[in-house]
Structures are given as C-alpha cells and as structure tokens.
A = this chain, B = another copy of it.
C-alpha cells in the first residue's frame, strides 16, 4: 500500500495513538488502513456408492499451484456466510451441488495471513463439471488420492483427517470432529 484509498495522498507506516502495531496511516485525512487475515472456505464433497467412499477434487487451472489437485475452496466474499461461501466455491470450481454439513477443519496459515476452513458435504448427484478455475474435476477414493500432487498443505491435512475419521466411524461408530491446526512456514533446509 502506497497511497490513501480515500484521498490519494501517500501513506506512512506508523503506530497510531492507542495502538501497538504499525499501520498504513494517511497523515493528510487521518484514515487508518487496517490489514487483516482472509478466510479461504471450501467443502469436502463425499460420494458414497458401491461400498466405496470417494471425494471430489479439482485440478487447478490457475496459479498458484497450476495443475495440482485441491478441494473446491476460495476466498470468502463480503455479504455471505461461511456456509454460503463453501457452497458457492463448490459450485464455481466443481459445478457440484452439495448438502453442507458441519465445519470439519480450521487451519491457520499465518505467514500468508489466511485461515482455511473446510465443511463436510454430501455430493447430491454426479452432474459435476470443471469451472473456469479448474482443468478437471474427479472423484477419488482414499487409495487413489494423488498425495504428491495436492496443491496446498491445508488440503492434504484436511483429506488425511477426513479419511481417518471416516475409517474410524465405519469400524467403530462415533462421529466426525472439528480438526484445528496451525500450518506455519516450513523452515528452509540449508544444505
């Protein structure tokens, strides 16, 4: 941020009175430009048939991570709820209609100023199709998931926890639980 979005004068990075961290401040009109984390919301669309549980993944047609697989997810928009964001992204990226269930995972990614959330969902039919941000959309059983080609750690972690819960519920009963985790920037390996 270089200029004030209210009056077009240059902004300064300084700690406002009664605050404790640097903000972009316009010393001309007094506006403080706060910057806050964003939410990335998605779903885990499940299709149960012929004794097999499969999850719908999208292969990304955009950067970052072009060509890698992800759960349908994207930035939450103003004027919508987290549930609405999850259903909208599932429709936009995978052309998929789902019944949404409860929040399954909440993952902090503080170094990119993001919080990712994934909702459990049941796919309502097989009429899905790739949206403009996806190259293809496909159902995967646990053994078919391309673990080395998953776009983001928040998606790998959510899928692993999801299948762990699913397998436990199938064998022992019980229910899904909320999984929370902080995914910090990996330490660089100096060689």
Contacts and interface: CB of A to CB of B under 8 A. Distances in A.
Interface of A: 1-9, 11, 18, 20-21, 33-39, 75-84, 92, 102-103, 106, 108, 110-111, 113, 115, 132, 178, 180, 182
Given A108-B81, A178-B103, A34 B113 contact: no
Contacts of A6: 1-3
How many identical subunits does the complex contain?
2
A8 B3 contact: yes
Contacts of A2: 5-8
Contacts of A1: 5-6
Contacts of A81: 108, 110, 182
Given A3-B4, A3-B6, 14 more contacts: A1-B6, A2-B7, A3-B3, A3-B7, A5-B11, A8-B8, A34-B75, A36-B38, A36-B77, A78-B113, A79-B113, A82-B106, A83-B182, A102-B180
Given A5-B33, A6-B3, A7-B3, A103 B102 contact: no
A1 B190 CA distance: 44
